[in-house]
Amino acid sequence: MTELTLVQAVNRGLQEAMRADPDVIVLGEDVGVNGGVFRATEGLLKEFGADRVLDTPLSETGIVGSAIGMALYGLKPVAEIQFLDFIYPAFDQIVSELAKMRYRSGGQFPCHVVVRAPYGGGIKGGLYHSQSTEAYFCHTAGLKVVVPSTPADAKGLLRTAIADEDPVLFLEPKRIYRSVTGEVPDGDHRVPFGSARTVRAGSDVSVFAYGAMVPVVTEAAAALEAEGISAEVIDLRSLVPLDEEAVLASVGRTGRAVVVHEAARCCGFGAEVAAVLAEKAFYSLKAPIARVTGYDTPFPYALENVYLPGPDRVVAAVRDTVRAG
Amino acid sequence: MAATASRPSAPAPSEDRLGGARLVDAYRAMVLARALDERCLSLQRQGRIGFYAPHAGQEAALVGSALAVAAEDWVFPAYREMTVALVRGASLQAVVDQLFGDAGDLAKGRQMPNHFAFRDQHFVSASSPIGTQIPQAVGAAMAARYRKQAITTITYFGDGATSSNDFHAGLNFAGVFRAPTIFFCQNNEWAISLPRERQTRSSTLAMKAEAYGFPGVVVDGNDVNAVYAAVRAARARAVAGDGPTLIEAQVYRFGPHSTSDDPRRYRADAQVEEARRRDPVARLRAELLAAQLLDEAADAALAEEARTRIGEAIGRAEATPALEPLSIFDDVFAQPTARLAEQRTDCAAHLAPGGRSS
């Protein structure tokens, strides 16, 4: 075990994967000499050289497009998109090409690329360094989408992503890159996809979250406990594939559900979780499902704390849900 | 230009022209391409296939380029390159099965006609968005070089694609990383309804390479040997480590953009008739006759051979069973997710005789 921050755990995961397999290549803007704007790739250029750590021109289309070609040829590229907000020039490559390559070729051309992207608010990054648009990608068949919230999961999910046979969008909650530290297992630690993590057990209500909202929800759960409300906190970790079994089992026990994400509400991932519960756990529910989310506004700069769900909004939603039935 | 003789993957450097039997082989491939094109248009009009994007007028560019690269090279095509796949050894039956979307289609009926994928021929799956294959070809070339394999990648696209994001991203990456890639632009003068002169103010498409720091060349795309020589030279540069080349093969799209298009809305028949005077198939035929590499009887036999092979392949395709309905759930991921497995079960119940209807 080693105590690491979340971003250090990402770095460690990359380093260990590259040591284990010469086919693993890292490419992106400022990932080499600069070690990444968040330092996620620090030290990799020095250890692995410029053939494996590629500082690319400023073109997300070029980064993901060339990564697809590398993967088709048999390498295992890990492409960094500097901020999720800047991924849209590569949207066509990700959605039309990467996600569909295996399917459209009848399985002849599997295409395994990991696209890493820091996402989310809370860093005073304004409109274009703060968004959480995971739902665009979850809507796309053929793409896996995972979001760690702890250093151990950051390394474990990243190692799984790099070893996986399918394309993976690996979203890193940059707000907690350094504010969260934790013990990370040494060696080839892997966290399977499609497996939610119970952060704390509870009996009155299930609260589902992922990424930077997990510590927010955990703080809310502690406050609720003082009021006598027992909240179960589930970190989804893997949005596609989703651990439906864990979601349904938790609500089967508690009878109440609150879904929390910082993405905008309309068609956000919480809508999918709520729909699964409505379809498959309706008769277990004692109260309406609640969502605590970012608002359906663009992401505001000066007032980001108004926009982002905090423990107070989670506490209020849980109280309402518990009182409702 | 650096010598390539020591590279086992490169064709012998003395062969800078197709001659004799190889030129006749090129002609045979072009005759097959033309006959297949005409037959596919009629199959679509008869409702026997759903769609078709013709390549008539581009046969010399397709065959000349395909013959100039090696089997171990990788092709990143657009959707008018079935002839390239055939030259590289894809079976005519596999091509026709793709057009019909039957159980013989190697891509399992997942895409419209013309969107081929042939793993064994290193012919990467084509898509409809324009230009997306261009940076992919660059990445594959970078990967080959990383593995110290002296091959090249060749990517096909049209004049319209030179306005796409991916064209600029791909060429810029190729220049920066000196990727062993051949950018093969078939400038057929029309991007659906938009003429070449409205696509760009540049006087040629090839000159765009200069901005990315590597050579761009214009070649008469109706001359199979001119195309062959240009691609051979580009390939030699690439495998010698001298970087990419952009080739603009100037051709003309005789037919519609696709069977969904009516070109009379945007161009005059007279222009098409004028272009047909430069027909690459007729041109090579005249050359072969003049060089006495072919006579009228042999030419007629080639045409008949093509028609027969195509007719037989179509007959077999129409006798091939339809795809298994539940195969739509295959190949989304390497292994189906629980959710996909559940949807597959629901779909199976729906499809079963007397099955539930929800």
CA dist B166 and A64 (Å) reads 10
Chain A residues whose beta carbon lies within 8 Å of the beta carbon of residue B119: 105, 108-109
Closest CA to A29 of A66, A4, A73: A66
ipTM field = 0.97
Domain annotation covers residue B14: no
Pairing of strands B194-195, B190-191: antiparallel
Q: Answer yes or no: do B24 and B128 share one domain.
A: yes
pLDDT at B3: 36
Q: Answer yes or no: do A6 and A148 share one domain.
A: yes
CA dist B102 and B83 (Å) reads 20
Q: Which domain holds residue B349?
A: 324-358
Domain annotation covers residue B44: yes
Q: Answer yes or no: do B338 and B243 share one domain.
A: no
Report yes or no: B341 at the A interface, CB cutoff 8 Å: no
Would you tell me how many other CB atoms lie within 10 Å of the CB of residue A39?
A: 16
Hey, of A105, A169, A247, which one would you mutate to test binding to chain B, going by the most B CBs within 10 A of its CB?
Answer: A105
Q: Answer yes or no: do A53 and A146 share one domain.
A: yes
Q: Answer yes or no: do B224 and B349 share one domain.
A: no
pLDDT at B353: 85
Residues 6+ apart with CB under 8 A from B184: B61, B65, B154, B155, B156, B157, B231, B247, B249
Q: Answer yes or no: do B96 and B129 share one domain.
A: yes
- Total number of residues shown for chain A: 325
Q: Answer yes or no: do B303 and B358 share one domain.
A: no
Domain annotation covers residue B15: no
What's the structural domain count of chain B?
Answer: 2
Q: Answer yes or no: do A164 and A216 share one domain.
A: no
pLDDT at B357: 53
Would you tell me how many other CB atoms lie within 10 Å of the CB of residue B5?
A: 10
pLDDT at B354: 77
Last residue of a domain, one of A184, A218, A249: A184
Q: Answer yes or no: do A232 and A116 share one domain.
A: no
Last residue of a domain, one of A160, A184, A208: A184
Q: Answer yes or no: do A136 and A228 share one domain.
A: no
Q: Answer yes or no: do B349 and B219 share one domain.
A: no
Domain annotation covers residue B1: no
Last residue of a domain, one of A184, A207, A225: A184
Fill in the DSSP letter of residue B101. T
Flag residues of chain A having pLDDT under 50. Answer: none
Chain A residues whose beta carbon lies within 8 Å of the beta carbon of residue B141: 69
Domain annotation covers residue A189: no
The CATH number assigned to the domain holding A163 equals 3.40.50.970
pLDDT at A182: 97
Q: Answer yes or no: do B108 and B163 share one domain.
A: yes
The CATH number assigned to the domain holding A270 equals 3.40.50.920
Q: Answer yes or no: do A237 and A94 share one domain.
A: no
Chain B residues whose beta carbon lies within 8 Å of the beta carbon of residue A62: 135, 138, 169-170, 172-173
Kindly report whether the peptide bond that precedes residue B13 is cis, defined as omega within 30 degrees of 0.
no
Hey, of B114, B124, B134, B155, which one would you mutate to test binding to chain A, going by the most A CBs within 10 A of its CB?
Answer: B124
Report yes or no: B76 at the A interface, CB cutoff 8 Å: yes
CA dist A129 and A85 (Å) reads 6
∠ CA A161-A166-A171, rounded to 5°: 45
Q: Is A112 a catalytic residue?
A: no
Domain annotation covers residue B7: no
Q: Answer yes or no: do B220 and B358 share one domain.
A: no
Domain annotation covers residue B13: no
The CATH number assigned to the domain holding B105 equals 3.40.50.970
Q: Answer yes or no: do B57 and B169 share one domain.
A: yes
Domain annotation covers residue B4: no
Q: Answer yes or no: do B107 and B144 share one domain.
A: yes
Q: Answer yes or no: do B67 and B166 share one domain.
A: yes
Q: Answer yes or no: do A141 and A111 share one domain.
A: yes
B85, with CB counted inside 10 A (0-12, 13-18, 19+), is buried
Distance in Å, alpha carbon of A136 to nearest chain B alpha carbon = 17
Are B136 and A245 inside 8 Å of each other by CB?
no
Domain annotation covers residue B42: yes
Q: Answer yes or no: do B203 and B313 share one domain.
A: yes
Chain B residues whose beta carbon lies within 8 Å of the beta carbon of residue A52: 146
Q: Which domain holds residue A250?
A: 197-324
Flag residues of chain B having pLDDT under 50. Answer: 1-14
What's the structural domain count of chain A?
Answer: 2
Report yes or no: A96 at the B interface, CB cutoff 8 Å: yes
pLDDT at B16: 84
